[in-house]
Amino acid sequence: MVVASRRAVRVLRRTLTLGVLVVSAALAFAASATAATVGGGGGGASPSGFVIGDTNATIGTPVTFWGAQWWTANSLSGGLAPASFKGFANTPETPPSCGTNWSTGPGNSSGPPPAPLPELIEVTVASQITKSGPTISGDTQEVVVVKTNPGYAPNPGHAGTGTVVEVVCAIDSSGGGAT
């Protein structure tokens, strides 16, 4: 039988308590870091309803995500976008996610956000955009982070531009779902 002194038991309890606190703090830090880089999307980027074409979604590529000539500045593998689409999808109102569809109205009626935009925004990447009556809709093949340039205004005459800096998620073209 092992007999421990009261002092030894107190030291052991303090050591165990300190160890539990250190491990708890480490787990909390790891969870917040994971949420910021995985669940939170692009490492601190703000979700947005802006859209770019899938052939423009390469890291390092300058893009136009809002503007009167959005349809000429963006290429889609599924064909031309309607000229009335200016680059903002207002439904769903949640952050963009791969594999979802979205819809919006034409031009300014889509309700784009006020200026200025955050430095980093999450942008939907569409391969096809169609119009049926007053409703414009499209798919989400990828979500990327765009570093914005100054000059954006919620009027399509003031284009929103930037550079693709990160891929948040992408639809696996082999049919395996989002990555």
pLDDT tens per residue, range 10-37? 655 665 454 544 434 433 433 333 333 3
- Report the chain's mean pLDDT, rounded to a whole number: 82
Q: Exposure of 70 by Cβ count < 10 A (0-12 exposed, 13-18 middle, 19+ buried)? A: buried
Flag whether pLDDT at 162 surpasses 90. Answer: yes
Asked whether the CA dihedral 137, 146, 99, 75 is positive or negative, the reply is positive
Q: How far is CA 48 from the centre of its chain?
A: 7
Q: Exposure of 85 by Cβ count < 10 A (0-12 exposed, 13-18 middle, 19+ buried)? A: buried
SS3 state of residue 106: coil
- Model-wide pTM > 0.85: no
The Cα–Cα gap between 74 and 81 comes to 8
